Amino acid sequence: MSGFMMVFILLALVAGTYVFCHNTLMSARFRVDEGWSGIIVQLKRRHALVPNLVQAARTALGHEQAIVERIVTARTQALEALAGDARSGDVQNDEGHAEIAKAEAGLSRALGQFLAYTEDNPELSANENLVILQKQLEETEDQVAAARRIYNGNVQAYNTRVASIPWNLVADLKKMKPSRMFTLDDAELETVSRDPTLDALAPANPPRQDRI
């Protein structure tokens, strides 16, 4: 075999390896982006349920409005985080994803406190609209969790490729970096075991009483 033929075969092997690695990396990256889109869809669905839940809760809770206001505030922050990430125009914006995760953790905490309060107050189950909305919210939470599992699985597969030979060589050339997992910290795993009437309903800054 001539030297020219050996060089040609070697170059063909290198080119073939590059194309294979590039295509598999891009496919893995596409699945990550697709998984993120699925999370956004479910988060928007959750955000859309909150106003109706808040309206029903205001009626059911009467004067105990602190927990409702926390939900409203948390939803506003979640919407702002989502909008900020969308404005960046970068589906791989890890910083924006982290802000979304932080805001959604706050919303999860506020909703969890509300659900704990309703469980401790059986009379609230008499409000049919509230019960229906709670069920829809719980179903949406399951969908968010499912979308997050799919996304994180895709991220893990992609990150494994990026860190493995020979894919890491192609990733360096294409400046493809590992992606961040989407987690809601410990908020959604937190069991609200404290008395909601003392903690969840307490104002963040209680009014100061002047001495007489």
What's the rounded mean pLDDT across residues 90-96?
77
Q: Which CATH homologous superfamily contains domain 3-174?
A: LemA-like domain (1.20.1440.20)
Q: How does pLDDT run across 104-150, given as a tens digit for each residue?
A: 999 999 998 888 888 787 777 777 888 888 889 889 989 999 999 99
Please report which confidence band the pLDDT of residue 195 belongs to, taking 50, 70 and 90 as the band edges. very low
Contacts of 59 (CB under 8 A, 6+ apart): 127
Could you tell me the pTM of the whole model? 0.77
